[in-house]
Amino acid sequence: MVAVETQRADGPRWLIAGLGNPGPEYDLTYHNLGFLAIDRLAEAANIRLTRPECKALAGGGVIAGTPVLLAKPQTYMNLSGGSIGPLLEKYTLPPERLILIYDELALDWGSLRIRYKGSAGGHNGVSSVLRSVGNDNFIRVRLGIRPEHPWKDMKEYVLSKVRKAQIETLESTLEQTLQAVETIITEGVEKAMTKHNRRAQGANEEQ
């Protein structure tokens, strides 16, 4: 009979990871909204993100009464799975216990969508996580970054800095992300989707 590895009794119940690129040149860029969300969660829960672990900056603590591990992969976006997969394995967490937070070009700026399962939708960081984890059974918190006006080079756009006029909306989105994660933990992903999935004011429905 094959032994089945069970979740560590003394470990976190959730891995909450944000996608982004390491280095000061990427601070406050659209592609780093995942990192900004993890920083907000860490600040609110008094968690220090200083421990190098599985190619990530990580920190353990408690959110909504539940032990969690927060992580920001330091592998660069396209290789994020090389950090997240090993973290899940280290703490014997199933993919269902991963909350992945990242920017989403398919959603308007200021929008937030919680989603369970699904494709990467062209997001290279999510593609890397899918390859590493081996299935799509994880929760995504997607933060909209679609520009108001067309850009010729979208790669240039996602690596550009959030404009000063957008900071207020960014702060609201990060606070909404904090509340969404807490609801996922305490009430489950379905309730969280009903409660927190929202569009930016005046935006069209997602395709």
Residue 202 lies in a domain: no
Long-range contacts of 154-162 (CB under 8 A, 24+ apart): 154/105, 157/30, 158/29, 158/30, 158/31, 158/103, 158/105, 159/21, 159/26, 159/29, 159/30, 159/31, 160/29, 160/30, 161/28, 161/29, 162/28, 162/29, 162/30
* Number of structural domains in the chain: 1
Residue 8 lies in a domain: no
Residue 4 lies in a domain: no
Residues with catalytic function: 31
Residue 170 lies in a domain: yes
Q: Which domain holds residue 107?
A: 14-196
Residue 39 lies in a domain: yes
- The reported pLDDT for the residue numbered 203 is 44
- The reported pLDDT for the residue numbered 205 is 43
What CATH number did the domain enclosing 46 receive?
3.40.50.1470
Residue 205 lies in a domain: no
Residue 1 lies in a domain: no
What's the pLDDT band for 9 if we cut at 50, 70, 90? low
Tell me the per-residue pLDDT of 36-86, one tens digit each, with 9 for 90 and over. 999 999 999 999 999 999 999 999 999 999 999 999 999 999 999 999 999
Per the model's pLDDT, the better-predicted residue between 87 and 2 turns out to be: 87
Residue 48 lies in a domain: yes
